[in-house]
């Protein structure tokens, strides 16, 4: 999945808003929302919360986990553990980005929260790099290319080259045929 798809999924997460308008329950394919009464909290998907916030129709309440003290504990715990620790939401990065971009005025200590989330993300990325590096260094833990697997691997590479050539041809106007004629062939 690319970043836009993950952000789309994150926008379905429920957040709490305090509306400043009245509206009966609305019935959508994804579920019923409301009723909306001024001053009474209601849970809505993030996409709707952002839309209402942009139109100044509500105040957004940050999720419970989006608290400086809780995020500091989570960051410290992530740093101490060798393995990944559970995050408050599978979309915590996207939620943080969207909430801080569109409703930072409703989130106390927004800059500190942004820094803590980034620190946690960086720690997790470092763990991922170390894990991938140690996996590749293990001689017996991953597949090796030998004489029996070389033709299969080469066929996969050729398929990738063909696909990449098609992408280049459509994006930059390259001559697909010229690129394909000059590609390397399978060593015998």
Q: pLDDT tens per residue, the chain (188 residues)?
A: 888 999 999 999 999 999 999 999 999 998 999 999 999 999 999 999 999 999 999 999 999 999 999 999 999 999 999 999 999 999 999 999 999 999 999 999 999 999 999 999 999 999 988 888 887 777 665 566 566 666 777 777 777 777 766 655 555 544 444 445 555 554 54
Chain-centroid distance of CA 118 in Å reads 13
Helix axes 92-103, 3-10, angle to 10 degrees: 80
Encoded tokens for 168: 């280049």
State which CATH number among 1.20.58.1020, 3.90.1170.50, 1.10.490.20, 3.30.1490.20 fits the domain covering 3-166.
1.20.58.1020
User: How far is Cα 60 from Cα 99, in angstroms, rounded to an integer?
Assistant: 9
Predicted pLDDT of residue 108: 95
Q: Which residues pair with residue 18 across a beta bridge?
A: 59
Report which of 111, 122, 113 is spatially closest to residue 78, judged by C-alpha positions. 122
Q: The whole model's pTM is what? A: 0.71
Report which of 60, 53, 49, 58 is spatially closest to residue 22, judged by C-alpha positions. 58
Q: What is the CA radius of gyration of the chain?
A: 24
Q: Is the separation of the CB atoms in 16 and 61 below 8 Å?
A: yes
Q: Is 116 exposed, middle or buried (CB count within 10 Å of its CB: 0-12, 13-18, 19+)?
A: buried
User: Per DSSP, which regions of 55-171 are E strands?
Assistant: 58-61
Count of beta carbons in the 10 Å neighbourhood of residue 99: 23
């Amino acid at each position: 999945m690319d970043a836009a798809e993950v952000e789309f999924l994150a926008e379905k997460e429920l957040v709490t808003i305090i509306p400043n308008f009245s509206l009966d329950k609305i019935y959508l394919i994804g579920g019923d929302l409301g009723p909306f009464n001024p001053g009474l909290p209601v849970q809505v998907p993030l996409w709707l919360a952002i839309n209402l916030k942009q139109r100044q129709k509500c105040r957004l309440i940050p999720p419970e986990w989006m608290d400086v003290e809780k995020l500091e504990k989570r960051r410290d715990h992530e740093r101490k553990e060798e393995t990944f620790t559970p995050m408050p939401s599978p979309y915590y990065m996207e939620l943080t980005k969207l909430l801080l971009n569109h409703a930072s005025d409703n989130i106390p200590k927004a800059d500190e929260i942004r820094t803590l989330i980034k620190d946690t993300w960086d720690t997790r990325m470092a763990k991922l790099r170390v894990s991938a590096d140690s996996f590749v260094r293990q001689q017996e833990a991953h597949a090796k290319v030998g004489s029996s697997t070389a033709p299969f691997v080469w066929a996969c590479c050729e398929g990738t080259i063909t696909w990449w050539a098609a992408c280049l041809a459509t994006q930059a106007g390259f001559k697909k045929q010229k690129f394909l004629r000059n590609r390397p062939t399978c060593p015998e």
